[in-house]
């Protein structure tokens, strides 16, 4: 049953990749069907699980013994519990919607079959990631989604920028993956096992130092996959991929894998204060950095990407808070998965109507031309900035609440983040849908077809009701408690005080943005005489520049000097030796001059030598 969840999309990917051109006609329907079947199966399993008592909800499926070398035993086992199932529903649910949306979005793409094959591959890998019952198998899924992400970012492979962005994502992800492999190696050395069960059981008895190191290695892995500081630079470039990909992989699911990893490894983080603090700091920095970048982007997708970084920063921060935060990290992850996917699909819809132009300065006044997109995007907007009772309000408020229980600084960071979020989202909203039209000459905005708008409408419903449904109907705190543990935040500011303050900050940010971009006309060309902060934000907070100057340039110098050393010193030694032998031989060759007399002389020399030796020995 559980294996079929993964197997169906994998089958779809295999058929589409191997089937060739004859699957062109019905390939995308197959992909949608496989993803949808997986979702139906997931929903069935969810209902089945919900019907059981709390103790019986975890189920495992041992498929086969994967690696069995001495003490190193890795089963190929799947594991479905309360945490996995919500991910399964998110992945297959949002995934299916985006599959459907892609039918419309990719209609005219000649390589549509390949696109759907990769999407199915991604769904299968992501499901493997969340269903694995050990870290090693999780690693396989982890790399699988990395591969799918790489393939889809550089999907427009004829564009050099897309190809470069794919490579960049791949390489930065490798840095994080080193962290995951280190963590797995450390786990095996320390605990002798890599299953979640075994690690959770053995973690308690191990030295705090080792636990801290494992936690930091896992954090590095999460940073790479979830675009957290300092490995955040790839996510903005990843927007080179098709918009459905940005929505599914780089907003709703894959980038949240880091949060899943941290929550899944809560047994490690529960035991190490240092690792948790590191997680919180990374989350706080990223949440502010992402929001900061989002304020200055004119590219609608890059603005949303900055927002994604920022929101994942919230989740990571929450996960770093320990038992008070795990549940809310997942909660925010789920709500974010819905409203951010909706926002991205909305952005894709706008682009679809605007001839693939992504510059918001060329938009404006689209609310009359694209009514459905406007409505769904607006609902997503309300959800992300945290207006009650939309989905984002519930999850974000809980995180801010928990953050204040940790420390005032962290709490303030989340609060400021909320204000900045409101600012850049309002900016995006007004620049796109309000104001006067700043369209290019031959652009005639139009609403997208139903195949695209229906998924957006469904996701908008999620943005509106998802938070309330999960909190009040699903009772997510108690649903996840057996897996992650849960504690009420103590010593925090009371919610009755905090909610009004948060809302005030949010409305302040939104009002400020309205005053700047709604009341005044927006220049079509980005003004160049701007403050240093704006320039920094436009340059992705100099993340690329930092990477280049700290890692790339010294690396290049190192490589160059090593090459120089290799070609001069090593090769010099080798070829010098060869040249010396060659030269000596060329000289020795002269002895072979063809003159019999010379040879005779040599013989005589030998005879003299022997005679001398004999004489000396006898004497």
Partner 1 sequence: MNPNNYLILAAILFTIGVYGVLVRRNAIIVFMSVELMLNAANLAFVAAARNTGTLDGLVVAFFVMVVAAAEVVVGLAIIVTIFRTRRSASIDEASLMKY
Partner 2 sequence: MNGESVVFWVSGTFAIVGALGMVASKKAVHSALWVAFAMINIAVLYFALEAPFLGTTQIIVYTGAIMMLFLFVLMIVGVDSSDSLLETIKGQRLLAGLFALTFGGVVVASISSTLASPSAGLAYANAGYGGHMQAIAGLVFGTYLFAFEVLSALLITAALGAMVLAHNERWSPRKTQDQMQRERTLSNHVTPLPAPGVLARNNSVDTPALLPDGTTSIESLPTAFRGEGQVTKAAEIDEAAK
Q: Which is nearer to partner 2, 504 or 588 (CB)?
A: 588
User: Do residues 397 and 386 lie in contact, with contact meaning Cβ atoms separated by under 8 Å?
Assistant: yes
Segment 563 to 592, residues that bind partner 1, using CB under 8 A: 589-590, 592
Quick check: 587 binds partner 2 (CB under 8 A)? no
Q: Which does 594 bind (CB under 5 to 8 A by kind): partner 2, partner 1, none?
A: partner 1
The number of residues in the chain equals 619
Q: Which of 25, 528, 595, 618: binder of partner 1 (CB under 8 A)?
A: 595
Q: What gap in Å lies between CA 500 and CA 407, rounded to an integer?
A: 20
Q: What gap in Å lies between CA 482 and CA 460, rounded to an integer?
A: 30
Number of amino acids touching partner 1 (CB under 8 A): 11
Instruction: Please give the DSSP secondary-structure letter assigned to residue 551.
Output: I
Least distance between partner 1 and beta carbon 168 (Å): 59
**Torsion angle of C-alpha atoms 388, 391, 396, 402, degrees rounded to 10:** 90
Segment 297 to 316, residues that bind partner 1, using CB under 8 A: none
Q: Is 73 helix (H, G, I), strand (E, B) or coil?
A: strand
Q: What gap in Å lies between CA 293 and CA 517, rounded to an integer?
A: 17
Q: What gap in Å lies between CA 141 and CA 177, rounded to an integer?
A: 12
Helix extents (H) in 238-390: 243-247, 257-264, 266-271, 273-296, 300-320, 326-353, 371-385
Q: Which does 558 bind (CB under 5 to 8 A by kind): partner 1, partner 2, none?
A: none
Q: Which of 69, 585, 597, 617: binder of partner 2 (CB under 8 A)?
A: 597
User: Do residues 242 and 301 lie in contact, with contact meaning Cβ atoms separated by under 8 Å?
Assistant: no
Quick check: 604 binds partner 2 (CB under 8 A)? yes
Q: Is 272 helix (H, G, I), strand (E, B) or coil?
A: coil
Segment 143 to 202, residues that bind partner 2, using CB under 8 A: none
Q: Which is nearer to partner 1, 515 or 604 (CB)?
A: 604
Least distance between partner 1 and beta carbon 616 (Å): 18
Which three-class secondary structure string do you get for 581-593? HHHHHHHHHCCCC
User: Do residues 424 and 287 lie in contact, with contact meaning Cβ atoms separated by under 8 Å?
Assistant: no
Q: Which of 53, 597, 617, 619: binder of partner 1 (CB under 8 A)?
A: 597
Q: What gap in Å lies between CA 319 and CA 116, rounded to an integer?
A: 33
Least distance between partner 1 and beta carbon 599 (Å): 10
Least distance between partner 2 and beta carbon 563 (Å): 46
Q: Which is nearer to partner 2, 209 or 602 (CB)?
A: 602
Least distance between partner 1 and beta carbon 607 (Å): 9
Q: What does the block give as tokens for 212?
A: 């801290």
Q: Which does 615 bind (CB under 5 to 8 A by kind): partner 2, partner 1, none?
A: partner 2
Least distance between partner 2 and beta carbon 599 (Å): 11
Quick check: 598 binds partner 2 (CB under 8 A)? yes
Q: What gap in Å lies between CA 137 and CA 185, rounded to an integer?
A: 13
Query: Hunting for tokens 């992501």 — which residue is that?
Result: 126
Quick check: 607 binds partner 2 (CB under 8 A)? yes
Q: Which is nearer to partner 2, 450 or 609 (CB)?
A: 609
Q: Which is nearer to partner 2, 22 or 618 (CB)?
A: 618
User: Do residues 257 and 129 lie in contact, with contact meaning Cβ atoms separated by under 8 Å?
Assistant: yes
Least distance between partner 1 and beta carbon 592 (Å): 5
Q: Which of 63, 524, 580, 604: binder of partner 1 (CB under 8 A)?
A: 604
Q: Which does 589 bind (CB under 5 to 8 A by kind): partner 1, partner 2, none?
A: partner 1
Task: Return the range that interacts with partner 1 (CB under 8 A); candidates 162-170, 337-345, 421-429, 593-601.
Answer: 593-601
Quick check: 590 binds partner 2 (CB under 8 A)? no
Q: What gap in Å lies between CA 385 and CA 518, rounded to an integer?
A: 17
User: Do residues 414 and 287 lie in contact, with contact meaning Cβ atoms separated by under 8 Å?
Assistant: yes
Q: Which is nearer to partner 1, 51 or 594 (CB)?
A: 594
Quick check: 617 binds partner 2 (CB under 8 A)? no
Q: What gap in Å lies between CA 321 and CA 402, rounded to an integer?
A: 8
Q: What gap in Å lies between CA 353 and CA 432, rounded to an integer?
A: 12
Q: Which does 617 bind (CB under 5 to 8 A by kind): partner 1, partner 2, none?
A: none
Q: Given the rule CB under 8 A, which residues bind partner 1?
A: 589-590, 592-597, 600-601, 604
Q: Given the rule CB under 8 A, which residues bind partner 2?
A: 593, 595, 597-598, 601, 604-605, 607-608, 611-612, 614-615, 618
């Amino acid at each position: 049953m559980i294996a079929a969840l993964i197997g169906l999309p994998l089958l779809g990917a295999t058929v589409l990749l191997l089937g060739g051109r004859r699957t062109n006609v019905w390939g995308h329907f197959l992909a949608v069907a496989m993803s949808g079947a997986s979702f139906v199966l997931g929903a069935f399993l969810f209902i089945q699980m919900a019907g059981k008592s709390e103790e019986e909800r975890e189920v495992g499926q041992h498929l086969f013994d994967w690696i069995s070398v001495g003490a190193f035993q890795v089963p190929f086992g799947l594991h479905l519990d309360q945490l996995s199932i919500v991910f399964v529903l998110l992945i297959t649910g949002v995934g299916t919607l985006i599959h459907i949306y892609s039918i419309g979005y990719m209609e005219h793409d000649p390589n549509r079959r390949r696109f759907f094959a990769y999407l199915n591959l991604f769904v299968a890998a992501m499901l493997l990631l969340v269903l694995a019952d050990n870290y090693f198998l999780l690693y396989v899924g982890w790399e699988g989604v990395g591969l799918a992400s790489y393939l889809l970012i550089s999907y427009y492979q004829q564009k050099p920028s897309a190809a470069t962005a794919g490579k960049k994502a791949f390489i930065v992800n490798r840095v994080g993956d080193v962290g995951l492999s280190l963590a797995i190696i450390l786990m095996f050395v320390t605990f002798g096992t890599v299953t979640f069960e075994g690690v959770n059981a053995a973690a308690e008895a191990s030295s705090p130092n080792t636990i801290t190191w494992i936690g930091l290695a896992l954090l590095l892995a999460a940073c790479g996959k979830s675009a957290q500081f300092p490995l955040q630079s790839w996510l903005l470039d990843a927007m080179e991929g098709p918009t459905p990909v940005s929505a599914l992989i780089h907003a709703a699911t894959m980038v949240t894998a880091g949060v899943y990893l941290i929550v899944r490894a809560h047994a490690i983080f529960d035991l190490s204060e240092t690792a948790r603090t590191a997680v919180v700091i990374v989350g706080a920095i990223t949440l502010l950095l992402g929001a900061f970048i989002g304020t200055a982007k004119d590219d609608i997708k890059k603005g949303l990407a900055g927002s994604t970084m920022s929101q994942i920063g919230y989740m990571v921060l929450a996960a770093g808070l320990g038992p008070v935060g795990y549940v809310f990290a997942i909660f925010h992850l789920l709500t974010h998965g819905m409203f951010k996917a909706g926002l991205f699909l909305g952005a894709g819809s706008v682009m679809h109507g605007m001839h693939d132009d992504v510059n918001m300065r060329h938009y404006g006044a689209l609310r009359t031309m694209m009514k459905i997109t406007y409505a769904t995007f607006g609902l997503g907007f309300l959800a992300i900035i945290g207006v009650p009772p939309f989905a984002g309000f519930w999850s974000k408020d809980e995180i801010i609440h928990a953050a204040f229980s940790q420390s005032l600084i962290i709490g303030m960071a989340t609060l400021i983040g909320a204000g900045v979020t409101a600012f850049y989202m309002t900016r995006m909203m007004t620049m796109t849908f309000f104001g006067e039209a700043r369209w290019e000459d031959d652009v005639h905005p139009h609403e997208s077809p139903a195949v695209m708008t229906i998924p957006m409408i469904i996701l908008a419903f999620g943005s509106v009701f998802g938070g309330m449904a999960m909190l009040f109907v699903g009772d997510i705190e108690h649903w996840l408690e057996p897996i992650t543990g849960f504690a009420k935040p103590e010593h925090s500011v009371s919610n009755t005080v905090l909610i009004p303050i948060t809302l005030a900050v949010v409305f302040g940010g939104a009002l400020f943005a309205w005053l700047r971009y709604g009341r005044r006309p927006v220049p079509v060309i980005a003004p160049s005489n701007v403050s240093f902060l704006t320039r920094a934000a436009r340059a992705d907070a100099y993340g690329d520049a930092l990477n280049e100057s700290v890692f790339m340039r010294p690396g290049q110098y190192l490589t160059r000097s090593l090459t120089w050393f290799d070609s001069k010193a090593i090769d010099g030694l080798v070829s010098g030796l060869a040249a010396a032998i060659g030269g000596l031989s060329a000289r020795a060759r002269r002895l072979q001059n063809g003159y019999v007399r010379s040879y005779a002389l040599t013989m005589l020399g030998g005879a003299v030598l022997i005679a001398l030796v004999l004489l000396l020995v006898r004497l």
